[in-house]
Structure 1
Amino acid sequence: MSAGGSVMPRLVVAAPSSNAGKTSVATGLIAALTARGLTVSPHKVGPDYIDPGYHGLAAGRPGRNLDPWLVGEERIAPLFLRGALHPRTADVAVVEGVMGLFDGASHPAVEPGFASTAHVARLLRAPVVLVVDASSQARSVAALVHGFATFSPDVRLGGVVLNRVGTDRHEAILREALGAAGVPVLGAVRRMEQLHTPSRHLGLIPAAERSDAALATVRWLGEVVAASVDLDAVLALARSAPALAAQPWDPAAEVAAVPGRPRIAVAGGPAFTFGYAENTELLEAAGAEVVTVDPLRDEALPPGTAGLVVGGGFPEVHAAELSANEALRGDVAALAAGGAPVVAECAGLLYLSRELDGMPMCGVLDVATAMSPRLTLGYRAAVAVTDSVLATAGTRVRGHEFHRTHADPSAGATGAWQWSAAGPEGFVAGGVHASYLHLAWAGSPRLAGNLVAACARRTESARAHR
């Protein structure tokens, strides 16, 4: 297969609104196609970290995000091809949408519908499968689907999967109505309580935390979709997608590699499951050796660690276990005190704080953090307040917030970012950069390059003083 002008079979799984069941259908579709022996490339529209975890379990390869707000429109097709062709070429790609098909970013910097599922489908020239919750309707489903099929002429609605269908008679009425509307019905999934996926304050429980239960859920979703959806028709629709005139994204073309192979530890394990695959790929392309550290289980940072990245996740759920690992907390504090680059996002900020819900954390930041009743969620257009190991002052980035915790204070003497008149947010001190802002470094690859260069300087300095 040629990378440029790639004919990658693909489709987008969308819905009229949230909670229609598109995650269950998309994950089940990925699992069912994988069970057929196909290599499936899973993708997710938007900044969601949790759904791609289930996709990855179903496909056996990382689920990747596609978000025009975070990375720019011009990178969507290249990043899609990166996922579809790496580590090996997929037979088909399944892209799960976000919210309703035409619901996009609510931000004054972009036009309505920007970063919506429809926007990404247009950028990928991909047909759309609409998952419709049919539990409270009959013939009206045809009017609903007709509206979605005709609302935007440059979005191709290729078929419908009916979800939460009640009886054989209910299904017959729905199929008859949609037949008259001229939209193919690709499948009908019955109401099944067994398909409920446990959730918590930020959505579904990450697949990495549920392990055996998550695998069982994914396997069951695949079996249900295989029995309820015409997979041959789905594959035929995916293969109708035209060639993409784009080159796959290459992290090595985005950053300059530094010498010395500085070792950067990246937090992982059940408490820190939020991250973009491209972030690690950029660190490696910039010359770093990336190793994983699990703050729940590992009692020390890897030998020779020159820098640390602690991304997002649910440390508030694991606060007691994180606090009990005093050895690693001390190691992290010593690393930061020595001036090493330490970059933390959201959950990482909580871990670096003095305390989380009253339990001791690493104490790198003199900050108290705690659960909050208010959900903070949304896209942010931010500017760096000062020079740091991550960015120079004035650097502009696009990111997002997604948390139900708060920090007191919310910013240090020197903040990390500013995106509103309320003032700076986050903390920059020595080599530490901590903030609630989540970033996809594929949209700002210089951030990865800056971090690896800072770690390389520390490694070289340490060698010089031996």
Structure 2
Amino acid sequence: MAGVPAVVVAAPASGSGKTTLATGLIGALRRAGHRVAPFKVGPDYIDPGYHGLAAGRPGRNLDPVLVGADRVVPLYHHGAAGCDLAVVEGVMGLFDGRIDEHETGPVAEGSTAQVASLLGAPVVLVVDARGHSQSLAALLHGFATFDSGVRLGGVILNRVGSERHDQVLRAACARVGLPVLGSLPRMDALEVPSRHLGLIPAVEHGAAAAAAVAAMTELVAAHVDLGAVAALARPTTDAVAWDPVAAVREAVAGDAALQSGSYGVVSRSGSRDVCANDATAVRVGSSALEDHTGTAEGDESGRGHAASTRSRLLGDSRERQGNEGGADAARAARAGRRADAPTSEWSAGGYGTSTGVEDGSGNDEATRTRRGPVIAMAGGPAFTFGYAEHRELLTAAGARVVVFDPLRDELPTGTAGLVLPGGFPEEHAADLAANTPLLTAVREHAGAGLPIHAECAGLLYLTRSLDGHAMAGVVDADAEFGPRLTLGYRDAVALADSALWRAGERVRGHEFHRTRLVAATTAAPAWGWHDGAGARVREGTLVGQVHASYLHTHPAGNPSATARFVGAAADYARVRH
């Protein structure tokens, strides 16, 4: 299938203003009537949150390192379905990517250049104009000719000092034949507050984030030729769109253990239209936005169901999830909110709002089995790091995903599996510790064999304490804010069987944290790899059915792990519920 036209927003180096330009461009194009699909190159979870505010649908990631280069274009088609234009924000400098001393080609793995080349999309280069004059022509000539597989389509000048400065820079661009698509004045007031891992996530920044996005949109609309940018966009490389149901089906077909499972895999009829399907309203501060999660769960036309027969591909995955029943209303009242109100704001990972599970009539075993196991997924301000495809894969594998906020919610009724993604729990440790009913429930369920998938923030939540605040105590370690940032891709090997992985499986992941574990007792490690110096690293921990680690993985690159996790949750549901 021909791809939705796209432009890639890149820069010569980090700090040039890519996120401001990309976010403002998404918002301005949307305001001009385009249905814009937002993407981010690499494993970054924070920028997509701002993209999501601007686009009215979750930002998605395109990361060749984590999902494989062959999945980038299919994932693009999946995320852009129903849209008429896509904006892809790059990472670091245009040709920066995973550092490999043995790489001899011009395009680094995971770089913006690699993704632009895979998509066949033109690049708009954002240049921080401070300090530049006529020599800008030489810089642009180098970027335009360095790799013939990457097409530079135009330039946006950022932080221009004066009208005269603008004239000089435009003349330099003309010397190398590159059109100037926009010229933005210096606007330091638009800088979004940051912390140790980058920008503060949009869901935490609340109304201020919405205001910042609105200001970015106004700035770009006033100083960028939106028509020229839209005209520059080109249809992307042909490919079959990635399909979570097909990914799960393929994972099941290739794994004998999954084939012998007694849970069903949900398929769905009809075409999926990510951008055209209107779903629930999500509020960030005072701004209401459409939640286009790209999952069938947003479709209110009917309930999905999962078959309990072996390896059957039945049903319709469109599942209506709402806060129904008196128990949910009572819990909401204790939390000081309406039963029908979302308990988490906009999520960079597309996890959407917190939704309740049916109480009462849905508690018999036959009904639970038919509808699939409940997977509780942590969301809210403390758990913002995740990928939209994760929820889609869980749903495709037969699970009913319920997003909840550990800052104030209880464990959802009927929970048979728990996903604790990444985020900033260190910024919310006191409030997390204050929700003792949830901490107690997580500890007790973990002891009873509840499958738990915890990454980074999830690992911290499961420790005994975080910066002196009591946590769940599932992992026998304490956590604290550390003196240095740990950052980078990892080629990891699973060291033992778990609810997700098989011993010996190789996985590509990414570390991104500034906390560390201290006073940890000996436990079975989850992962093993070698660092840059060749030293052996053992990381993470396995406790019963708990897999907790600092390593972030992308579910689209590892659908078998998601299918296994749902199978383990189905087994737990049959035993416990």
Q: TM-score range by the shorter chain?
A: over 0.9
Which shows bigger deviation, 198-207 or 402-411?
A: 402-411
The partner residue of 1:228 within 223, 242, 250 is 223
Which residue number in structure 2 is paired with residue 249 of structure 1? 242
Counterpart-to-counterpart distance in 2, 1:308 and 1:65: 23
The partner residue of 2:470 within 360, 369, 374 is 360
The partner residue of 1:408 within 494, 509, 518 is 518
Any idea what SS the aligned residue of 1:114 has?
Answer: coil
The partner residue of 2:187 within 192, 202, 205 is 192
CA contact (8 A) 2:482 2:514 kept: yes
Residue 454 of structure 2 is aligned to residue 344 of structure 1: yes
Which residue number in structure 1 is paired with residue 563 of structure 2? 449
Counterpart-to-counterpart distance in 2, 1:262 and 1:330: 21
Counterpart-to-counterpart distance in 1, 2:455 and 2:484: 19
Residue 154 of structure 2 is aligned to residue 159 of structure 1: yes
Which residue number in structure 2 is paired with residue 295 of structure 1? 406
The partner residue of 1:171 within 138, 158, 166 is 166
Which residue number in structure 1 is paired with residue 545 of structure 2? 431
CA contact (8 A) 2:3 2:237 kept: yes
Give the AA of the match of 1:348: G
CA deviations 1:163-182 (Å, max 9, x no partner) are 00000010011111211221
Residue 71 of structure 2 is aligned to residue 75 of structure 1: yes
Which residue number in structure 2 is paired with residue 138 of structure 1? 133
Counterpart-to-counterpart distance in 1, 2:219 and 2:412: 43
Counterpart-to-counterpart distance in 2, 1:367 and 1:341: 19
CA contact (8 A) 1:98 1:117 kept: yes
Aligned length: 453
Any idea what SS the aligned residue of 1:158 has?
Answer: strand
Which residue number in structure 1 is paired with residue 85 of structure 2? 92
Which residue number in structure 1 is paired with residue 294 of structure 2? none
Counterpart-to-counterpart distance in 1, 2:157 and 2:236: 29
CA contact (8 A) 1:286 1:448 kept: yes
Normalised to the residue count of structure 2, the TM-score between the two structures is: 0.77
Counterpart-to-counterpart distance in 2, 1:150 and 1:175: 19
The partner residue of 1:30 within 6, 26, 48 is 26
Alpha-carbon offset, residue 111 of structure 1: 6.0
Counterpart-to-counterpart distance in 1, 2:103 and 2:415: 41
Give the AA of the match of 1:92: L
Which residue number in structure 2 is paired with residue 388 of structure 1? 498
CA deviations 1:295-347 (Å, max 9, x no partner) are 1111x101100010001000000011111111111111111111110110001
Matches within 5 A, 1:31-70: 31-70=27-66
Counterpart-to-counterpart distance in 2, 1:266 and 1:391: 19
Which residue number in structure 1 is paired with residue 205 of structure 2? 210
Counterpart-to-counterpart distance in 2, 1:401 and 1:409: 21
Alpha-carbon offset, residue 422 of structure 1: 2.9
Any idea what SS the aligned residue of 1:369 has?
Answer: strand
| Distance change in 2, residues 1:131/1:318 (3 Å) | same
| Distance change in 2, residues 1:108/1:176 (3 Å) | closer
Which residue number in structure 1 is paired with residue 286 of structure 2? none
CA contact (8 A) 1:44 1:66 kept: yes
The partner residue of 2:486 within 376, 399, 418 is 376
Give the AA of the match of 2:179: P
CA deviations 1:34-59 (Å, max 9, x no partner) are 11121100000000000000000100
Alpha-carbon offset, residue 425 of structure 1: 0.8
Gaps of 5+ in 1: none
Give the AA of the match of 1:297: R
Counterpart-to-counterpart distance in 2, 1:305 and 1:135: 54
Any idea what SS the aligned residue of 2:86 has?
Answer: strand
Identity of aligned residues (%): 59
| Distance change in 2, residues 1:460/1:276 (3 Å) | same
CA contact (8 A) 2:34 2:84 kept: yes
Higher normalized contact order (CA 8 Å, seq sep 6+, divided by chain length): 1
Alpha-carbon offset, residue 108 of structure 1: 5.9
CA deviations 1:438-460 (Å, max 9, x no partner) are 00010111010010000011112
Give the AA of the match of 1:78: P
CA contact (8 A) 1:107 1:379 kept: no
| Distance change in 2, residues 1:390/1:138 (3 Å) | same
CA deviations 1:360-400 (Å, max 9, x no partner) are 01111110100001100000010101010011111111000
Which residue number in structure 1 is paired with residue 375 of structure 2? 264
| Distance change in 2, residues 1:7/1:358 (3 Å) | closer
Counterpart-to-counterpart distance in 1, 2:415 and 2:192: 38
Counterpart-to-counterpart distance in 2, 1:156 and 1:111: 20
Alpha-carbon offset, residue 245 of structure 1: 1.6
Counterpart-to-counterpart distance in 1, 2:505 and 2:568: 17
CA contact (8 A) 1:127 1:156 kept: yes
CA contact (8 A) 1:412 1:427 kept: no
Once superposed, what is the RMSD of the aligned Cα atoms? 1.3
Residue 387 of structure 2 is aligned to residue 276 of structure 1: yes
Which shows bigger deviation, 402-411 or 441-450?
A: 402-411
Counterpart-to-counterpart distance in 2, 1:416 and 1:129: 41
| Distance change in 2, residues 1:71/1:434 (3 Å) | same
Counterpart-to-counterpart distance in 2, 1:111 and 1:436: 31
Gaps of 5+ in 2: 250-263, 266-307, 309-368
Counterpart-to-counterpart distance in 1, 2:103 and 2:440: 44
Give the AA of the match of 1:281: E
The partner residue of 1:105 within 98, 101, 104 is 98
CA contact (8 A) 1:410 1:425 kept: no
The partner residue of 2:528 within 415, 418, 429 is 418
Residue 263 of structure 2 is aligned to residue 149 of structure 1: no
Alpha-carbon offset, residue 242 of structure 1: 4.0
Which residue number in structure 2 is paired with residue 311 of structure 1? 421
Counterpart-to-counterpart distance in 1, 2:123 and 2:228: 13
Give the AA of the match of 1:267: A
Any idea what SS the aligned residue of 2:548 has?
Answer: strand
Counterpart-to-counterpart distance in 2, 1:324 and 1:282: 32
Any idea what SS the aligned residue of 1:102 has?
Answer: coil
Give the AA of the match of 2:215: W
Normalised to the residue count of structure 1, the TM-score between the two structures is: 0.95
Which residue number in structure 1 is paired with residue 114 of structure 2? 119
Alpha-carbon offset, residue 353 of structure 1: 0.3
Counterpart-to-counterpart distance in 2, 1:97 and 1:286: 31
Any idea what SS the aligned residue of 2:87 has?
Answer: strand
Counterpart-to-counterpart distance in 2, 1:26 and 1:364: 41
| Distance change in 2, residues 1:106/1:220 (3 Å) | same
CA contact (8 A) 1:411 1:427 kept: no
